[in-house]
């Protein structure tokens, strides 16, 4: 294996210190009027969905503030069908 010159990036990793530019997204942060934001997420898990929902709710409350959290719902949908009884 050859030694690579000091400071030279490995192939595919880019230039050291180089940053990727993100596309500019319009911000509502300057908005004078308050807005209501709805975020929907869905994920698969084998963990307790109620406990995960509570952790997500707490995280959102910490981000936006407890008084700003208008509504939070957790809905659980099974991924497997239940077998009918007596068959």
Confidence of residue 84 (pLDDT cuts 50, 70, 90): confident
Whether 69 maps to a domain, the answer reads: yes
Residue 48 lies in a domain: yes
User: What is the separation of C-alpha 57 from the centre of its chain, rounded to a whole number of angstroms?
Assistant: 13
Single pTM value for the model: 0.55
pLDDT digits (tens, 9 = 90+) for 3-59: 555 555 555 555 556 566 666 656 656 668 999 999 999 999 999 999 999 999 999
Instruction: With respect to residue 17, please indicate whether it lies within any of the assigned structural domains.
Output: no
What pLDDT does 68 receive?
94
Domains: count for the chain: 1
Which tens digits make up the pLDDT trace of 36-51? Answer: 999 999 999 999 999 9
Residue 20 lies in a domain: no
Indicate whether 73 belongs to any domain. yes
Determine, yes or no, domain membership for 67. yes
3-state secondary structure of 43: coil
In a domain, 22, yes or no: no
Half-sphere exposure of residue 25: CA atoms within 13 angstroms, side-chain side: 5
């Amino acid at each position: 294996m050859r030694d690579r010159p000091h400071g030279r990036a490995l192939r595919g990793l880019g230039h050291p210190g180089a940053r990727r530019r993100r596309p500019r997204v319009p911000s509502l942060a300057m908005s004078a009027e308050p807005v209501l934001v709805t975020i929907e997420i869905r994920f698969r898990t084998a963990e307790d969905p109620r406990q995960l929902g509570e952790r997500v709710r707490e995280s959102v409350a910490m981000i936006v503030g407890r008084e700003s959290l208008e509504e939070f719902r957790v809905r659980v949908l099974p991924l497997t069908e239940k077998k009918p009884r007596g068959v």
